[in-house]
Structures are given as structure tokens and as C-alpha cells.
Structure 1
Amino acid sequence: MSLDHLFTDVDNAAADLGDEVAVELDAETRNELALLSAAYGTDDPDELLRRAVHGLFQRVVETGNIDFHLRSEYDCTYDEFLAGMSYDEMAGGYPESDDDRRYQF
């Protein structure tokens, strides 16, 4: 797979998710969510779930865990995803093209 496949898969997953996701809670998750709700003084579990996703995302980015999975599946990293191009492209290399007129260093 490639960076282009990742963009496609992310777009498709975002479209499939829509604006709301129903999540079935097991007893452990329900108790942990209840404790967090009490501790943070909120009766909006949706906000806590959004924070949980942000926290998980931040952790996997900081530890490089997401890069491991992206490299395994798509042969790219999170930085390449953010930049919209591979490290080779950032360094001046370009994908193969039939256009022989492309300026190359």
C-alpha cells in the first residue's frame, strides 16, 4: 500500500463513521467512564469519550506506535501523512512519471 491508499482509507473511514458512533460498553468500561464522569463533574459521557480518543491518539503519535502500524500497512509515517508526501518526495525525489520534462536536481 502507499500514502495514496492511506488518504483513501482515511477518507472512507471518516465517511463511514459519520458524526456519531454508538459504542457498546462492557462493565469495566462503564465503571471507568462513570468514575471519570464523577471526577470531572460532567454528565456528558460523549465529551469524555472524545477526550479519550484524543488522549489515545496523542499517546500513539508520541510513542511512535502509529508510525509502526502505518509503516507496516501503508509504507509511510504519520509525518508523511501530514505533509502529504513521502520522505523521498520531500528530499527532492519524485514519483516516476512519463513526463520527461519534469525539472530534476
Structure 2
Amino acid sequence: MSLDDLTADVEQSYSDLGEELDVTLDRETRNELAMLTAALDPEDADELVRRAVHLLFQTTVETGQLDFNLRQEFDVTYDEYLNGMTFEEMTGGQFPQAQQNDDRRYQF
């Protein structure tokens, strides 16, 4: 799979989701959502679900889980997706330090 495959999958998923999403809640999730609704008093429970998705996404990015899964499935990272090109495309296929014969890189 590739960056193009990831882009196509994201676009397809975005289209499939539409504007609204019906979610089936299990007992534990409903109880937790009820507690959060009572404590945070949002205008509606949908706001809490939106916040939950944002928090899950942020946590997944920050812990590296998103990159790990993207690398396994599509052989790209989130940064590569955001840039619209792979690391190899950005660098011409070579890691910059491979071209340098820098014997001083470990010296302070």
C-alpha cells in the first residue's frame, strides 16, 4: 500500500461517515457518557462524543500508535500523509547524513 492508497481510504471513509453517525452504546459506554454529561453539562451528548474522538486522535498521534499502524498498513507516516509525499520523495531517496563524511558528529 502507499500514500495514494491511504489518501483514497481516508477520502472514502470521510465520504462514508457523512454528517451524522449512529453509534450503538454498550452499558459501560452509556454509563460513562451519562457521567460526563452530568459533570460537564454540554449542550448535547454529541459534543462529548466529538471531544472524545479528538482526544483519541491526539493521543494516538502523540504516542506514535497512528504512525505505527499507518506504517504497517500503508508504509507511510502521518507526517508523510500531511506533506503529501513520502520521506524518500522529500529527500530524493537518501538520508541526508549518508552523503556526509562527518567524523565530528559525536564531538562537542
TM-score (norm 1): 0.86
Does residue 22 (structure 1) correspond to residue 22 (structure 2)? The answer is: yes
For the residues of structure 2 that align with 1:62 and 1:42, how far apart are their CA atoms? 26
* 1:25-64 mapped onto 2 (5 Å cutoff): 25-64=25-64
- Cα RMSD after superposing both structures: 0.8
Report the residue type matching 2:61 in the other structure. Answer: V
Please tell me whether Structure 1 or Structure 2 has the larger radius of gyration of its CA atoms: 2
Match of 1:68 in 2: 68
> Unmatched 5+ residue regions in structure 1?
94-105
In structure 2, the partner of 1:96 is: none
Matched, 1:8 2:18: no
Aligned equivalents of 2:65, 2:21: Cα separation in 1: 24
4+ long deviations beyond 3 Å: none
Identity of matched residues, %: 61
1:29-87 deviations in Å (ceiling 9; x for gaps): 00000000011012401000000000000000000000010000000000000000000
Moved more, 57-66 or 83-92: 83-92
Could you state the TM-score of these two structures normalised by the residue count of structure 2? 0.83
- Alpha-carbon distance between aligned partners in 1 of 2:39 and 2:85, rounded to the nearest angstrom: 43
